[in-house]
């Protein structure tokens, strides 16, 4: 295999195919033979998607990056490896290195291996700190290509990811990696995907990873697996939008003849009107013993995962910023009315009180509170529930963090906001050259070091143990102090908010346990895109 030395002490193997796709909407098939003598120095194809971003949220695309990248639905199942050059040269005699694997986010409709998410600088940092690792990044199918479910071919994207992790188990030893020391980390949809892997029984190869980092993403009432009724409705709507009159296998055959551009266009259209591309309740993935994987059972079921030993999980300072366009268009009165219709007066009042929302309040203040609510519904509350359950009812060690540095790029709509995904600009070290202050560069470097240390089996900071007294320890990334441990009580006093809001949400949702429930599916928000 021919790789690229980038940077000067790291060998990067790009666009390694890990699986084949026999046909659109079919399960991918693991490639169990590694071809020798091939060139892996060029970037590969992304999964077809709506390439509409101008990079402004990060100050523009990284210099030299090609955007939009080439895409191909049948050539997109690729991964990238970054290996210390010296270790690769002595792989036969060296100690096997731990492996850190990244699964990208993007709302299940966006994302690919690019320079922004390049993990090679993390490997370089690991060498500088004498804690060497091998890193990997993987792609999977998106939108309808990965999440249009039919019996026998459900959860295509999850199966893609699993095949990539199986490929790593099979071949990473030849690159000097230790298949018994694999840590996965993902952000948003990537983290939610990791949760889904923890809800699945180990493959015949055994556990695919032992540690996990969940960055702003746990399965919850907006993102837990859809029931087959929801999935069938999505197929029906998709067929109609694509102009396909046939149904069943004949309809799928016709859908395979539709251009991939149209498939992407309809995927995006549905996403922009409030529908999400989610996993589905399929016994082939979750198993018969799990029963229904409902939103309220996710913490319990993840807690039963016997092969994951430790989890790092956390969120950013204000997860709801990106929902502003969706929420600014509704009135506080319509929100209160819709929440009451959804949950009943008593449960709705529990939540409205926690967020200090009233029907006649100032609209600007309402938008802020509604953004807090939506950020909690999608990200904070599921993360809090999982941390609480794992730390009190399981043997899994939990390390919790909060990332509060703000977006430092003036061209961004989210400038000076600690928004969802802002930590992505730090952990990979790829934007350090663009940071305006040494302190921000130091925070980024420490971020990478913490994840690297965790992959090496080190406890990153004090373990989180929920007591309900505020004495739990969390790690906080702070613009003034850097990465610092704080008690929950001290941090909540400093930032003037608390996870009591999340507990109020869970209490308000009590009557919805055990069934399909989309907490953000309010009458006043129907037909409005998530972001």
The predicted structure's pLDDT at residue 52: 81
Q: What is the 3-state secondary structure (H, E, C) of 29-60?
A: EECCCCCCCCECCCCCCECCCCCCCCCHHHCC
At 256, list the tokens: 């395979």
Q: Which residue has the tokens 């509604």?
A: 370
Exposure class string for 135-164: b at 16+ Cβ within 10 A, else e: bbbbbbbbbbbbbbbbeebbbbbbbbbbbb
The sign of the CA dihedral 261, 143, 329, 420 is negative
User: Any alpha helices (H) in 242-375, and if so which ranges?
Assistant: 248-255, 260-271, 283-286, 298-303, 324-327, 332-343, 345-354, 363-375
DSSP string, 119-147: -HHHHHHHHHTT---EEEEE----HHHHH
The predicted structure's pLDDT at residue 118: 97
At 531, list the tokens: 């972001």
pLDDT per residue of the chain (531 residues) written in tens, 0 to 9: 899 998 889 999 999 999 999 999 999 999 998 876 789 999 999 999 999 877 889 999 999 899 999 999 999 999 999 999 999 988 667 799 999 999 999 999 999 999 999 999 999 999 999 999 999 999 999 999 999 999 889 999 999 999 999 999 999 999 999 999 999 999 999 999 999 999 998 888 899 999 999 999 999 999 999 999 999 999 999 999 999 999 999 999 999 999 999 999 999 999 998 899 999 999 999 998 888 899 999 999 999 999 999 999 999 999 999 999 999 999 999 999 999 999 999 999 999 999 999 999 999 999 999 999 999 999 999 999 999 999 999 999 999 999 999 999 999 999 999 999 999 999 999 999 999 999 999 999 999 999 999 999 999 999 999 999 999 999 999 999 999 999 999 999 999 999 999 999 999 999 999 988 999 999 999 876 655
DSSP string, 215-251: ES----TTTSPBPHHHHHHHHHHHHHHTT----HHHH
The predicted structure's pLDDT at residue 53: 75
With vertex at residue 519, the alpha carbon angle to CA 420 and CA 417, rounded to the nearest 5 degrees, is 20
Closest by CA position to 43, among listed 98, 107, 101, 114? 114
The predicted structure's pLDDT at residue 324: 94
**CA 69 to each of CA 20, 37, 101, 412, 428: distance values in angstroms, whole numbers, following the listed order:** 20, 25, 22, 22, 20
What global pTM score does this model have?
0.97
At 263, list the tokens: 């498939």
The predicted structure's pLDDT at residue 37: 73
Tally of CB atoms within 10 A around 468: 10
Tally of CB atoms within 10 A around 7: 12
The predicted structure's pLDDT at residue 530: 57
In terms of DSSP bridges, do strands 473-478 and 482-487 run parallel, antiparallel, or are they unpaired? antiparallel
Classify 477 as helix, strand or coil.
Answer: strand
Exposure class string for 354-363: b at 16+ Cβ within 10 A, else e: bbebeeebee
User: How far apart, in whole angstroms, are the C-alpha atoms of residue 265 and residue 238?
Assistant: 11
């Amino acid at each position: 295999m021919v790789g690229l030395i980038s940077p000067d002490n790291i060998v990067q193997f790009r666009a390694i195919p890990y699986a084949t796709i026999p046909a659109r909407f079919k399960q991918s098939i693991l490639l169990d033979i590694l071809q020798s003598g091939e060139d892996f120095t060029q970037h590969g194809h992304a999964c077809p998607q709506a390439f509409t971003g101008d990079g402004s949220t990060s100050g523009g695309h990284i210099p030299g990056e090609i955007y939009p990248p080439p895409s191909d639905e049948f050539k997109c199942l690729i991964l990238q490896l970054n290996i210390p050059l010296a270790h690769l040269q002595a792989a036969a005699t060296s100690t096997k290195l731990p492996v850190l694997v990244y699964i990208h986010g993007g709302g299940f409709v966006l994302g690919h291996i690019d320079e922004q998410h390049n993990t090679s600088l993390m490997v370089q940092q690991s060498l500088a700190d004498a804690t060497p690792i091998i890193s990997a990044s993987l792609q999977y199918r998106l939108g309808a290509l990965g999440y249009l479910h039919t019996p026998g071919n459900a959860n295509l994207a999850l199966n893609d990811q699993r095949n990539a992790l199986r490929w790593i188990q099979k071949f990473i030893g030849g690159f000097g990696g230790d298949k018994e020391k694999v840590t996965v980390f993902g952000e948003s949809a990537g983290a939610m995907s990791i949760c889904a892997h923890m809800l699945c029984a180990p493959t015949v190869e055994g556990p695919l990873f032992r540690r996990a980092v969940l960055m702003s993403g746990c399965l919850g009432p907006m993102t837990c697996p859809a029931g087959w009724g929801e999935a069938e409705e999505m197929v029906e709507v998709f067929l109609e939008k694509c102009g396909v009159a046939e149904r069943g296998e004949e309809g799928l055959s016709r859908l395979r003849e539709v251009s991939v551009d149209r498939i992407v266009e309809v995927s995006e259209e549905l996403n922009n009107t409030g529908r999400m591309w989610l996993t589905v309740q399929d016994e082939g993935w979750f198993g018969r013993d799990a029963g229904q994987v409902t939103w309220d059972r996710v913490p319990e079921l993840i807690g039963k995962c016997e092969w994951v030993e430790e989890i790092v999980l956390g969120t950013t300072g204000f997860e709801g910023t990106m929902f502003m366009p969706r929420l600014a268009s509704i009135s506080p009165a319509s929100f209160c009315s819709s929440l009451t219709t959804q949950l009943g007066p008593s449960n709705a009042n529990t939540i409205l009180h926690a967020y200090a929302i009233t029907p006649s309040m100032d609209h600007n203040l309402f938008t802020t509170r509604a953004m807090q609510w939506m950020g909690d519904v999608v990200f904070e509350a599921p993360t809090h529930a999982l941390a609480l359950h794992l730390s009190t009812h399981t043997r899994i060690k939990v390390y919790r963090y909060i990332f509060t540095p703000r977006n430092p790029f003036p061209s961004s709509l989210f400038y000076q906001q600690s928004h969802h995904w802002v930590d992505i600009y730090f952990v990979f070290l790829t934007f350090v050259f663009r940071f305006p202050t040494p302190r921000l560069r130091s925070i980024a470097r420490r971020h990478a070091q913490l994840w690297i240390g965790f992959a090496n089996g080190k406890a990153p900071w004090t373990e989180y143990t929920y007591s309900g007294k505020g004495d739990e320890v969390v790690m906080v990334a702070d613009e003034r102090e850097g990465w610092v441990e704080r008690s929950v009580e001290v941090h909540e006093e400093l930032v003037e908010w608390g996870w009591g809001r999340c507990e109020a949400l869970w209490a308000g949702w009590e009557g919805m346990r055990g069934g399909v429930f989309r907490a953000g599916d309010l009458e006043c928000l129907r037909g409005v895109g998530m972001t």
